[in-house]
Amino acid sequence: MAPSEEPVTLGVLPLATRALYVAAQVVAHLAVPLLLFGLVWRGRKEPAHMRHLSHRFGLGPVGPQGAVWVYAASLGETRAASPLIRRMRAAGHAVLLTHQSPAGLAEGHRLFPDDPGITHRYVPADLFWAVRLLLARARPSALVVLEIELWPAMLIESTRAGLPVVMANGNLLDRSIGQGALRRHLMALYRLFSVIFTRTEAYRDRYLLVGVDPARVQVVGEMKFDQWIDPAQPDIGRALRARWPGAERVLMIASSVEAEEPVLLPLAARLLAADPGLRLVWVPRSPQRFDALADALAASGLDVTRRSSLGERMQAPMPPAQVLLGDSIGEMNAYYPMADLVFVGASLVDHGGHNIMEPMALGRPVVMGPSTYGIAFAAEPAAQAGALESLPDAAALEARIASLLADPSGLAAMATAAQGFSAHQTGAADRTMAGLLAVLRERSS
């Protein structure tokens, strides 16, 4: 189904929503000193927050006029956007790639290091004049927003300028809709999108529930299944596994969050104590947790080696450590192939679970805790296919990990199911690109 050809105007927003935007901008401007203080505070632990400060006010590089402006706030959203960006570049479209976080900016540079057609920068603060300044300088052909980001000034000022606004990999959860007047006005901003490309019919229904025109919502699938995998990374991981003394079985803890660590640390220690041939790869979600997790693992009596000690391409000798701490960014596709089984984090606490698509694309079976609402669209069919198991609590998770690691044939069956499930989920990036091209053609006609 082609997207609606009627251009979106601010008239789709209720008058009260537009009035609230004006009031919110007044508050936002009063809060600019707090914004700067927040950047300084975060910069104490992550100095990159203080770099390129001019970007936050609409200055900095914009690249060639007429580029497609892509907003991928974080590292995860940048990865999700990468298949679509590759298709844009193959079709000859320049890209203005913007991020909120330093990790997102770093990942953009890592994924597209030498492409002069991609301009990397931070997104402006959500102040009307900062967004207008970027729009006036870049004159983009469209704005593509990843997943769930709703920044009023970005959306309203882009629409005011006549720019088509597209959502890719739309990820509207039930609990995001919520109750109350403020939440209702925020959800009304989804009506500003010329087209929303989303994952399943259930997601489509949520957009319709908040007032989006049905002609503007398309179900295309999940773009994370289309991510390009650098073939060198799996080879690096497999070679390191082969050099790891005593690594008969390897469990990976992927994308864990801080709130899970008090449960995961003793769980991991017990599993390692019970199985001398077991080794653990642990990659926390946040780079800010690298040092703290290394200290906590050592305090638990575990022998830890940090990936950063292994040099470029992980070619240094691997010591006989029990745990490899993945203290790097952009190397998940090297870590996953090292593992026989992957636990995906943010699932033992009520965070909804993190990315299960990447390990399954590499044929790795997945176990999780009970909280999977954030990735239910993939977790439920993956579980039905036999590629994933969600356990009700930490005790059940620990017992199931131990039983799976002791059952090579069962693990192999799950791995085959994971590979097959992933292979049948591809194509979302192609479908999104076809819809985006239709939007761009309509704008140029």
CATH number at residue 417: 3.40.50.2000
Same domain, 190 and 258: no
Same domain, 14 and 151: yes
Q: What is the pLDDT of residues 10-63, one digit of tens each?
A: 999 999 999 999 999 999 999 999 888 887 887 777 777 778 999 999 999 999
Residue 164 burial (CB < 10 Å; 0-12/13-18/19+)? Answer: buried
- The total number of structural domains in the chain stands at 2
Residues 6+ apart with CB under 8 A from 436: 68, 84, 88, 142, 144, 166, 168
Q: Using an 8 Å Cβ cutoff, are 389 and 372 in contact?
A: no
Residues 6+ apart with CB under 8 A from 162: 7
Same domain, 86 and 104: yes
Same domain, 261 and 196: no
Same domain, 295 and 364: yes
Same domain, 269 and 135: no
CA angle 132, 135, 136 (to 5 degrees): 85
Q: Is residue 4 part of a domain?
A: no
> What tokens appear for 197 in the block?
């490309």
Judged by DSSP in three states, 199 sits in coil
* Residues facing residue 282 across a β-bridge: 253, 325
Same domain, 374 and 438: no
CA–CA separation, 62 and 121 (whole Å):
8
Same domain, 319 and 392: yes
CB atoms within 10 A of CB 4: 15
CA–CA separation, 216 and 445 (whole Å):
19
First to last CA, the chain: 19
CA–CA separation, 340 and 199 (whole Å):
29
Nearest Cα neighbor of 431 from 197, 164, 165, 224 is: 197
pLDDT by residue, tens only, the chain of 445 residues:
445 567 899 999 999 999 999 999 999 999 999 888 887 887 777 777 778 999 999 999 999 999 999 999 999 999 999 999 999 999 999 999 999 999 899 999 999 999 999 999 999 999 999 999 999 999 999 999 999 999 999 999 999 999 999 999 999 998 888 778 888 999 999 999 999 999 999 999 999 999 999 999 999 999 999 999 999 999 999 999 999 999 999 999 999 999 999 999 999 999 999 999 999 999 999 888 999 999 999 999 999 999 999 999 999 999 999 999 999 988 999 999 999 999 999 999 999 999 999 999 999 999 999 999 999 999 999 999 999 999 999 999 999 999 999 999 999 999 999 999 999 999 999 999 999 999 999 887 7
No. of helices (H) and no. of strands (E), the chain:
18, 14
CB atoms within 10 A of CB 416: 15
Q: Is residue 419 part of a domain?
A: yes
Give the per-residue pLDDT at 45. Answer: 73
Annotated active-site residue 77? The verdict is yes
Q: What residue type is assigned to position 290 of the chain?
A: F
Same domain, 268 and 417: yes
Q: Is residue 331 part of a domain?
A: yes
Same domain, 333 and 382: yes
> What does the DSSP 8-state code read for residue 127?
-
Range of the domain at 60: 10-221+427-444
* Mean per-residue pLDDT of the chain: 94
Q: Is residue 2 part of a domain?
A: no
Nearest Cα neighbor of 170 from 129, 205, 214, 203 is: 203
Q: Is residue 255 part of a domain?
A: yes
CA–CA separation, 50 and 57 (whole Å):
13
Same domain, 89 and 142: yes
CA–CA separation, 222 and 79 (whole Å):
12
Hunting for tokens 């090297």 — which residue is that? 334
* DSSP letters for 275-325: -TTEEEEEEES-GGGHHHHHHHHHHTT--EEEGGGG-GGG-SPPPS-SEEE
Give the active site residue among 5, 6, 46, 77.
77
Q: Is residue 5 part of a domain?
A: no
Q: Is residue 238 part of a domain?
A: yes
Give the per-residue pLDDT at 417. Answer: 97
* DSSP letters for 347-404: TTTTT-----HHHHHTT--EEE-S--GGGHHHHHHHHHHTSEEE-SSHHHHHHHHHHH
What is the model's pTM?
0.91
> What tokens appear for 42 in the block?
């975060």
CATH number, domain with residue 38:
3.40.50.11720
Same domain, 77 and 134: yes
Q: Is residue 116 part of a domain?
A: yes
Give the per-residue pLDDT at 1. Answer: 42
CA–CA separation, 427 and 333 (whole Å):
20
Query: Alpha-carbon torsion 73, 369, 240, 258, what sign?
Result: positive
CA–CA separation, 336 and 328 (whole Å):
13
